[in-house]
Structures are given as C-alpha cells and as structure tokens.
Amino acid sequence: MVKAAARFGLVGIANTLVGFAIIALLLQLGAGDYLANAVSYAIGICLSFVLNRAFTFRVRGRVAAHEVHRFLAVFAISYAANLAVLTLMRAAGFAETLIAQGSAMIAYSAVFFLLSHRFVFRARPGA
C-alpha cells in the first residue's frame, strides 16, 4: 500500500501540473477564471481516473461502468471532506490561510486514496 500511495502522489503531481497548464493556457486565450477552472477539473478528473487505474492501482482490462460511477462518488466524498476540514479550520481561526487550505487538501487526498484503494480499484477476483 505504501508503493501505491507513492504512485498516487506522483499522479497527483502530474495531474496538478497538467491542470495548471490548462488553466494558464485558457486564461491566456481569454476564457476567464470559471471556465478555465471547470475545463481543467473536467480534464483532470479524467486524467486522474486513467492514471490512478493503470499506474497507481495497476488495474488491467476493460473499464467497467461501476468503476467510473464509484470514482465519481469517491471524488464527491473526498471533496466534501475537503470542504468540511476547510470549514472547521476557518471556525478555528484559520480563515484565508494556507494552513486551512493545506489541511483541507491533505484530507481530500487521504480520503480519495483510501476510498479509491478500497472501493473503486480494489483487486478483482482472479486478477
């Protein structure tokens, strides 16, 4: 699981770099903050699925619809954890700080990894 967590981190770094590049390009083309952000996240979630499935969790074979549905559900749950931690940190006096944002990002990443490992990309019988 430690190796998978390290690969997950590498995928996260790659996804962040790609997302940032997409945002930068779209802003340069005049797309605006919200459109650039939305396009980046749409591409990022697809890239995350593909890279985490193949590289992080080493899943082979055809993509099953339930994997995609579970992945999107895990994304939503992880983002909710992010917002919950951010809200708690703000209530604790850390509004508008990198401490709050960093804590929320750590929560998102931990929940996303654990649920992806246990719920989305778990080993298939006979695989």
Question: Where along the chain do its domains lie?
Answer: 1-58, 63-127
Residue 126, pLDDT score: 52
Cβ neighbour number for residue 29 with a 10 Å cutoff: 10
The single-letter code of the amino acid at 63 is: V
Backbone angles phi, psi at 123, to 5 degrees: -60, 135
What pLDDT, in 10s, does the model give residues 14-32? 998 998 899 899 999 999 8
CB atoms within 10 A of CB 74: 21
Contacts of 127 (CB under 8 A, 6+ apart): 59, 60, 61
CA distance 106 to 123: 25
Q: For residue 10, what pLDDT is reported?
A: 96
Residue 47's pLDDT is 95
Q: Which letter, b or e, does each residue of 31-57 get, where b requires 16 or more Cβ atoms within 10 Å of its Cβ?
A: beeeebbebbeeebeebbbebbbeebb
**Residue segments in the chain with a per-residue pLDDT below the cut of 70:** 123-127
User: What is the model's pLDDT at position 33?
Assistant: 82
